């Protein structure tokens, strides 16, 4: 899942930080998804301007040594399959 796809959150969803829980939330009309780890920082880069390769590059810069290239494309692909990203 690399290349020209420039993921963006679907129109009806909002990414918010819950200060009480200390975590990021993806708020949808029908549910709330509690995001774990760095999922929120990944989704903040899903703005329609960054393609998957650029997202991986930015996260690799922020988190040297992390398996970003192995994990992020699959994560984004799963969110796309669930209809959370377009």
Contact 1, 52 (CB under 8 A): yes
Q: Is the pLDDT of residue 3 over 90?
A: no
> CB neighbours (10 Å) of residue 52?
20
What is the enclosing helix (H) or strand (E) of 26?
Answer: strand 23-27
The residue ranges of every structural domain in the chain are 14-81
Which residues have CB under 8 Å from 29's CB, separation 6+?
12
Q: Is the pLDDT of residue 1 over 60?
A: no
- Rounded to whole angstroms, what are the CA distances from 15 to 3, 5, 32, 79? 24, 20, 10, 14
15/23 Cα distance (integer angstroms): 11
Classified as helix, coil or strand, 33 is strand
Please write the tens of the pLDDT for every residue from 52-79: 999 999 999 999 999 999 999 999 999 9
* Full-model pTM: 0.89
């Amino acid at each position: 899942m690399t290349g020209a796809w420039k993921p963006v959150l679907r129109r009806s969803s909002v990414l918010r930080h819950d200060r009480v829980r200390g975590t990021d939330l993806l708020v949808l009309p029908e549910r709330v998804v509690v995001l774990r780890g760095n999922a929120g920082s990944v989704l903040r880069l899903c703005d329609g301007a960054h393609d998957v390769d650029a997202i991986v590059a930015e996260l690799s810069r922020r988190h040297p040594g992390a398996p970003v290239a192995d994990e992020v494309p699959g994560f984004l692909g799963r969110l796309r399959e669930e209809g959370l990203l377009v």
